[in-house]
Amino acid sequence: MNLQAILQHPEAIRFPENHIYKDHWQTSKGRARELPSGHCVFYGEHGQRILLADPDGHPLHECLWDDQIHGLPRLISTRMRLDWGQWVGIKPCGLVNTISLDLSKRPGWEHLTRDDLREMAARAMNVDIGTIRFFYRDVDLEIFSDGKATIRQVKDAFYVLQNGSFERVKFMSCMSRMEWGRIDYLPVVELFLSLLPGTGSATFELLRGLYDDQQGHTPRSLQYRGIPAYPSVGAFRLFSAFFTPLVKTGEAPQEVFLDVNRSHEVEWMPSSEYPIRHFDEEQRLSVTSHNRKIHKVTLWDDSAGLSYLTLTASGETRADGRGAQILGRELHLYDGAEHHIMKTKESWKLASQESRHDWKTSSASWRECFPKGLPQISPSRAFSAVLLYPDDSQIIGEKESQPFIFDYLEDFLEEQAELQRCRDMAEHLFLARCEANLGACLKYGRPQRYTIWYEWAEFAQKYAQQIWNRLNRQNILAWLPHFQFFPIAEEVITKTDSPYDWMNVWIPFSMYGNDQEVQQWCWFLANHLVPGGIACVAGPKMMGQLFQKQGLSVIHAEHGESLPTFKIHQAILQSSRLHPELTIWIIQQS
């Protein structure tokens, strides 16, 4: 393996502090180690991992370290390459939330200690004191001479690296602080719906690599820890790909893990086999293998923004109407009637022959949800169809605001029996500009017709794919024609005459100051709701008066920033702000 060639790869070394290894490897006092998979790990003079590359020299992640603190090396930043070529990064301790307390009116406050603050935090969060001690160090707790106290909640931050380095970044997500120089627990990412696809696997590829670097002859077990704990089926699957779960009581590990009060009882030991990634820049694809068998294939130029998973034993798709299999030295990819044949590489070290399966094309495709043709989307936009939130006080964007509204509506309707009955019995539903959180607006209990006007094509495509997967799992693909997506154009408001039983409408921020356009939407609602029909509308405060002028009854109204769904978000990102005019309305036609 040509170590110098790997280091010279244009995306391998991007941290300036690591350039010494690229420019002067022979004299840098670094070292390299080849793994059984053929991957190569580079270590710096400090003894810590700085680069992982696949057997063909393609970089997978790069790490930047600082001098040791309290005997442990400190990770400054890390870059990780996703399956479709995008780079993301982690900044340890990159997000800090601060809570200020005034204890001066509390009797005996002069004698309060940091452990007293921890006891208060444990009671407030309903967690055990051991968890509080684990996550809140002495440096995070301060009590001042005037009775004021400060508690800092420190988290590791995830970023999208827009040019592959930390020069231009967008905040993506966060998780509880890790001690990267000594992996001692398994974390779950917060705001996980904001993660670009593949971020979780790339993070655990790094975490497992660092864990292996740090082990002696007897590997130590790890537990999941979180504050608060967020155990989920998705987290269990991700953990299980790299570690083996064990429960001393002999109970099913997943059942114990999903119990929020017992998830820490599951012990995780390193698996002998775990996912291995390979990149092929000539064919512009990446391959993930497990136990020397293909698990997933991603084409970088795929405007669908999806990967290909291996076929089932019966030759059917596992997801998205796609499949992959190895035949001889060829990699066969299927997408409906489309069939791509790519070349395998010896460096992937795949099993010599996998069982052949005859591809069974699905009866319908998610593409049929677009009667006017598929929207034109670049691969980057398709893969990046997630909601990214600011980590500062700037107003949250339009798409990103939708989950707070529609998740709230979903919860609210569950508590309102009559409204829920109207929603369930609706025959024809209209959704306009709701595609950033469309999942909360759809039901699958019975056939219902959905007319969906979309503005953000990549999210419309993403949810069309999710609709297909949901119907396919329930064996009701015959319902697919009931979900029809159309690109929105304001002029169609006056040309549409279909009546609707239920409507969800998002008024764009750009219209908030335009009385004429807002009035036109109010007219549209009044003239297209059937008698007794219901509409849920997100728009400016002024709409309340306009509804009354159109003869529409306001059943319920809430200001956006008062919604409990948004308050939960603020607990993670304290400075978050919604548009000050954003209001949710539930209205009814007389």
Task: Tell me the CATH number at 532.
Answer: 3.40.50.150
Amino acid making up residue 142: E
Count of the separate structural domains present in the chain: 4
State yes or no: pLDDT of 355 exceeds 80: no
State the pLDDT confidence band at 192, using cuts at 50, 70 and 90.
Answer: confident
Instruction: State the first-to-last Cα distance of the chain, in angstroms, to the nearest integer.
Output: 76
> In terms of domains, do 188 and 270 share one?
yes
Does residue 495 surpass a pLDDT of 80?
no
Query: Percentage of the chain surpassing pLDDT 90?
Result: 86
The reported pLDDT for the residue numbered 171 is 97
Judgement on whether residues 456 and 314 belong to the same structural domain of the protein: no
Is the per-residue pLDDT at 90 higher than 90? Answer: yes
Residue 77 lies in a domain: no
Together in a domain, 355 and 212:
no
- State whether 408 and 348 are in the same domain: no
Task: Please list, in sequence order, all residues whose beta carbon lies within 8 angstroms of the beta carbon of residue 293, skipping any fewer than 6 positions away.
Answer: 310, 326, 350, 351, 354
pLDDT tens string 314-326: 888 999 999 999 9
Rounded to whole angstroms, the Cα distance separating 394 from 404 reads 17
- The tens digit of pLDDT for each residue in 162-174 reads 999 999 999 999 9
Asked if 210 and 259 sit in the same domain, the reply is yes
Inform me whether the pLDDT recorded for 353 exceeds 70. Answer: no
Q: Is the pLDDT of residue 446 over 70?
A: yes
Q: What is the mean pLDDT of residues 8-29?
A: 95
Considering 362, 392, 410, which residue would you say is the last residue of a domain? 362
Same domain, yes or no: 197 and 332: no
Q: Cα 127 from chain centroid?
A: 26
- Judged against a pLDDT cut of 80, whether residue 538 lies above it is answered with yes
Q: Specify whether 355 is located in the same domain as 450.
A: no
| Over residues 111-126, mean pLDDT | 88
Residue 537 has pLDDT above 80, yes or no: yes
Q: Are residues 262 and 290 in the same domain?
A: no
pLDDT of residue 285: 98
Residue 82 lies in a domain: no
Residue 498, pLDDT above cutoff 90: no
* Residue 224 forms part of a structural domain: yes
pLDDT reported for residue 390 = 95
Last residue of a domain, one of 362, 391, 412: 362
pLDDT value at 354 more than 80:
no
The pLDDT-based confidence of 520 (bands split at 50, 70, 90) is very high
Residue 314 is assigned to a structural domain of this protein? yes
Segment 554-575 mean pLDDT? 95
* 95 and 234 fall within a common domain: yes
Judged against a pLDDT cut of 90, whether residue 120 lies above it is answered with no
Edge to edge, the sheet with strand 322-327 lists: 322-327, 330-335, 338-343
Pairing of strands 338-343, 87-102: unpaired
> Which of 213, 245, 274 is where one domain is finished?
274
Q: What is the Cα–Cα distance from 47 to 63, expressed in whole angstroms? A: 12
Judgement on whether residues 234 and 344 belong to the same structural domain of the protein: no
Pairing of β 87-102 and β 49-53:
unpaired
Residue 53: inside a domain, yes or no? yes
Of the pLDDT bands very low, low, confident and very high (cuts 50, 70, 90), residue 491 is low
Give pLDDT tens digits for 226-240. Answer: 988 889 999 999 999
Contacts of the segment 234-239: beta carbons below 8 A, 24+ positions apart: 234/192, 234/200, 235/188, 238/200, 238/201, 238/204, 239/186, 239/204, 239/268
Nearest 5°: CA angle at 240, between 234 and 246? 120
Report yes or no: 397 and 409 within 8 Å, Cβ to Cβ.
no
CA distance 464 to 368: 9
Residues 551 and 408 in one domain: yes
Residues 217 and 304 reside in one and the same domain: no
The reported pLDDT for the residue numbered 189 is 92
Longest dimension (CA), the chain: 82
Banded model confidence at residue 126, pLDDT cuts 50, 70, 90:
confident
Look up the domain containing 310 and give its range: 276-362
Judged against a pLDDT cut of 70, whether residue 185 lies above it is answered with yes
Nearest alpha-carbon partner for 40 in 2, 86, 85: 2
**pLDDT value at residue 1:** 72
Q: Is the pLDDT of residue 110 over 70?
A: yes
**Do the domain assignments include residue 75?**
no
* pLDDT tens digits, one per residue of 22-67: 999 999 999 999 999 999 999 999 999 999 999 999 999 999 999 7
Q: Does some domain include residue 368?
A: no
pLDDT at 575 exceeding the cut of 80: yes
Mean pLDDT across the chain, nearest whole number? 94
What average pLDDT does this structure show over 434-442? Answer: 96
What pLDDT was estimated at residue 545?
A: 92
Does the pLDDT of residue 489 top 90, yes or no? no
On whether residue 84 sits in a domain, the answer given is: no
Check: pTM over 0.85? Answer yes or no: yes
Q: Which stretches within 389-492 are classed as H helix?
A: 398-414, 417-425, 457-473
Nearest to 51 by CA among 28, 33, 73: 33
